[in-house]
């Protein structure tokens, strides 16, 4: 996404003990004298340096001394409430992916490599793509979701995705399993991106596999009915 906005280079610095001890003035020196910054853009509540001592005011003070420009991006709100990454993460974790989309300007998505699962979906007649879990990424809360799957070849398909631990089969491991409608083929070791469009129901523990099979069939039917409400642009679903 950063590259799509025309950014040429990104320096990603993991936040560790050494970084946390860098004093605010030293951080400014690093930006200006080592990275040759001539214009610095930051958020209105930007804090930096040891114990967060650096502030927007300090950055502006040094901009006059060292000759660089500063642009401070103000807070952004929707319907009177501030938009923040914390609020968006909480919405996603609560399964409110459609509400999070309004704040993001896009549907939240998760990209992962397809790995081997238990094969239960195939036995039920609904083979699923099981995505590898990245613990660094906030996953939507447990539930069943209408999603849009973008495959590594760029093709997109509607999908029903389950996020949970397979309680019907006494599972204890978090999984992301997508049944991709109108697709047949081998996706193992391929990258799949899932756009989470809407939560359709909670995860339920069924008494038998047959009951689960009936429910999945209903989930698929619902996906076919709902997907036409969303706007497809290229190979992705976008907000209207």
What is the average per-residue pLDDT within 196-211? 88
pTM of the model: 0.84
pLDDT of residue 140 exceeding 60, the answer is yes
Residue appearing with tokens 């950014």: 7
User: Burial, 101: exposed, middle or buried (Cβ in 10 Å; 0-12, 13-18, 19+)?
Assistant: buried
Maximum CA extent, the chain: 72
The two structure tokens encoding residue 93: 């974790």
Report residue 121's pLDDT band, with 50, 70 and 90 as the boundaries.
Answer: low
Q: Which residues pair with 42 in a beta bridge?
A: 72
In this prediction, residue 197 carries a pLDDT of 98
pLDDT of residue 65 exceeding 80, the answer is yes
Percent of the chain with pLDDT over 70: 93
In this prediction, residue 127 carries a pLDDT of 83
For residue 61, the surrounding DSSP H or E stretch is helix 56-66
- Euclidean distance between the first and final Cα of the chain, in Å? 19
In this prediction, residue 62 carries a pLDDT of 96
Average pLDDT over the chain, rounded to an integer? 90
Report residue 3's pLDDT band, with 50, 70 and 90 as the boundaries.
Answer: confident
Nearest Cα to Cα of residue 173 among 123, 219, 224, 120: 120
The least confident of 14-23, 68-77, 167-176 is: 167-176
pLDDT of residue 45 exceeding 60, the answer is yes
In this prediction, residue 123 carries a pLDDT of 61
Report residue 124's pLDDT band, with 50, 70 and 90 as the boundaries.
Answer: low
Residue appearing with tokens 């081997």: 116
3-class secondary-structure state, position 160:
strand
Q: Which residue ranges form the domains of the chain, and what is each CATH number? A: 3-73 (no CATH), 81-238 (2.40.30.30)
E-strand ranges in 53-184 read 69-73, 77-78, 81-82, 109-115, 129-131, 143-150, 156-164, 175-180
pLDDT of residue 80 exceeding 80, the answer is yes
Nearest Cα to Cα of residue 219 among 142, 139, 158, 130: 158
């Amino acid at each position: 996404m950063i590259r799509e906005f025309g950014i040429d280079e990104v320096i990603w610095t993991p936040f560790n003990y050494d970084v946390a001890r860098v004093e605010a003035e030293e951080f400014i020196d690093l930006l200006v004298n080592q990275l040759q910054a001539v214009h610095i853009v930051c958020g209105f509540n930007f804090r930096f340096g040891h114990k967060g001592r650096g502030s927007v005011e300090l950055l502006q003070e040094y901009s006059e001394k060292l000759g660089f420009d500063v642009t401070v991006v103000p807070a952004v709100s929707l319907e009177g409430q501030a938009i923040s990454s914390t609020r968006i993460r909480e919405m996603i974790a609560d399964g409110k992916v459609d509400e999070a989309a309004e704040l993001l300007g896009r549907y939240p998505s998760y990209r992962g490599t397809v790995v081997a699962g238990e094969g239960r979906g195939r036995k039920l007649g609904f083979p699923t793509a099981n995505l590898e879990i990245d613990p660094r990424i906030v996953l939507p809360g447990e539930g069943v979701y209408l999603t849009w799957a973008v495959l590594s070849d760029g093709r997109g398909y509607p999908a029903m995705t389950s996020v949970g631990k397979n309680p019907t089969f006494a599972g204890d491991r978090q999984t992301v399993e997508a049944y991709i409608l109108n697709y047949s083929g081998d996706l193992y070791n391929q990258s799949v991106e899932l756009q989470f469009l809407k939560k359709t129901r909670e995860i339920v523990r069924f008494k038998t596999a047959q009951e689960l099979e009936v429910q999945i069939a209903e989930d698929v039917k619902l996906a076919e009915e709902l997907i036409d409400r969303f706007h497809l642009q290229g190979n992705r679903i976008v907000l209207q």
